[in-house]
Amino acid sequence: MQHTTTKSRIFLSSPHLSGTEIKYINEAFETNWIAPLGPNVDAFEKEIASYVGVKGSVAVSSGTAAIHLALSLLNVQKGDTVFCSSLTFVASANPILYQCAEPVFIDSEPDTWNMSPLALEEALIDAASALKLPKAVIIVNLYGQSAKMDELVSICKKYDVPIIEDAAESLGAKYKGKASGTFGDFGIYSFNGNKIITTSGGGMLISNNPDALSKARFLATQAKDPAPHYQHSELGYNYRMSNILAGIGRSQLEVLDERINQRRTIFEIYQKELAHLPFVSFLPELNNTFSTRWLTTLTINSEDAEREINRLLTAFESENIEARPVWKPLHLQPLFEKSTFYSHNKQKSISEYLFQTGICLPSGSNMTIEEQIRVIECIKKIFSK
């Protein structure tokens, strides 16, 4: 795309180094731990587990790999169904297809934009009466905001269906004081370059079940049976995190709280400057929850929202500012066109509405106040026309 400006690019969310990453990387080089195992991997796993308050974790090559391992551990197989939030990044659901299982997509509710307890319950009632309960429910916490976990957990308990919490976008968030990602049988985090902290690429599987975690380590290292001649009875993967990248993660984790404060401050500035604009509302922070505000997202609640969003995206591009629409719901993706979808209510799908009216603003913790003012001025200009 052509830019009509020479101004420097403002990114949606770019890596923000702490400055001490190199210390951990050097240590790995000096000790020759250049492998997908080593002291940084062990320490990073312990540090994440203790930060979020779980018994253990397994460092892997991506958040997607962590979801795939969780599905394998829950024995998801061909022909099984797995329920998943519809409003999310495709990586939440792709591992369901890796296992040749069938996704069923659940709508959002308006208070957190995350999985609707109403739609989930309806889907489970149908599944129970068809004698085909899902093997798992993948609950996603979008943009740094926890889903309505009390309601969702109690519905899943009622039907005895395990939960995988996709907390790729919500590391550091809390629900009633408890860390996002820790409510299910498994939780996953991502350290991709755009997330709140990064290892350039990486992920973490967390759980309170030590046996499941050792099984995850086994599966993530090619499922080698205990024999010197490389014997295999099960299908495994090559999913472990590099000891060099785990070093970056350890350094990044030291500044996670600072990054959360910075993202929340960016949100507060946007809110102060833009909340009065006609039809604008921000992703709410549910009572008793703490959002990291990973990305500041807003909706334009007017008749011609789609046109307004397009005008904003065009204006941003010409000002060399990166912004994005809210995730396109997975039930609308060509890849999943045959999948079933349960809507929050009969009249309207909340996830479709959020997709049509929502936009994510640049929210990187390394964005300067001057850059944020450039974004704000661009929005105000569009709204004044």
**Are 273 and 369 contacting, i.e. CB atoms less than 8 angstroms apart?**
no
- The 30-69 site mask, x for binding ligand PLP (CB under 6 A), equals --------------------------------xxx-----
Strand order in 163-166's β-sheet?
Answer: 56-60, 203-207, 186-190, 163-166, 136-140, 81-85, 102-106, 340-342
Q: Should residue 89 be labelled a site residue for ligand PLP when binding is judged by CB under 6 A? A: yes
Which is closer to ligand PLP, CB of 195 or CB of 374? 195
Cα atoms in the Cβ-side hemisphere of radius 13 Å centred on 121: 12
To the nearest whole angstrom, how small is the minimum distance from the Cβ of residue 113 to ligand PLP? 12
Length of the chain: 385
Say if residue 2 is exposed, middle or buried (CB neighbours under 10 Å; 0-12, 13-18, 19+): exposed
**Among 91, 123, 246, 309, which residue sits at the site for ligand PLP (rule: CB under 6 A)?**
91
To the nearest whole angstrom, how small is the minimum distance from the Cβ of residue 85 to ligand PLP? 8
Which is closer to ligand PLP, CB of 10 or CB of 59? 59
**Are 93 and 71 contacting, i.e. CB atoms less than 8 angstroms apart?**
no
Of 220, 244, 235, nearest in space to 60 by CA: 220
Say if residue 144 is exposed, middle or buried (CB neighbours under 10 Å; 0-12, 13-18, 19+): buried
Segment near ligand PLP (CB under 6 A); pick from 88-96, 253-261, 312-320, 354-362: 88-96
Q: Should residue 70 be labelled a site residue for ligand PLP when binding is judged by CB under 6 A? A: no
**Are 257 and 51 contacting, i.e. CB atoms less than 8 angstroms apart?**
no
The DSSP code sequence of 293-309 is -SSEEEEE-STTHHHHH
**Among 190, 207, 357, 365, which residue sits at the site for ligand PLP (rule: CB under 6 A)?**
190
Q: Should residue 88 be labelled a site residue for ligand PLP when binding is judged by CB under 6 A? A: yes
Q: Should residue 165 be labelled a site residue for ligand PLP when binding is judged by CB under 6 A? A: no
Q: Should residue 326 be labelled a site residue for ligand PLP when binding is judged by CB under 6 A? A: no
**Among 84, 136, 138, 140, which residue sits at the site for ligand PLP (rule: CB under 6 A)?**
140
**Are 265 and 141 contacting, i.e. CB atoms less than 8 angstroms apart?**
no
Other C-beta atoms lying within 10 Å of the C-beta of residue 273: 16
The site that binds ligand PLP (CB under 6 A) totals a number of residues, namely 14
Segment near ligand PLP (CB under 6 A); pick from 107-115, 125-133, 166-174, 343-351: 166-174
**Among 71, 73, 155, 168, which residue sits at the site for ligand PLP (rule: CB under 6 A)?**
168
Q: Which residues bind ligand PLP (CB under 6 A)?
A: 62-64, 88-89, 91-92, 140, 166, 168-169, 190, 192, 203
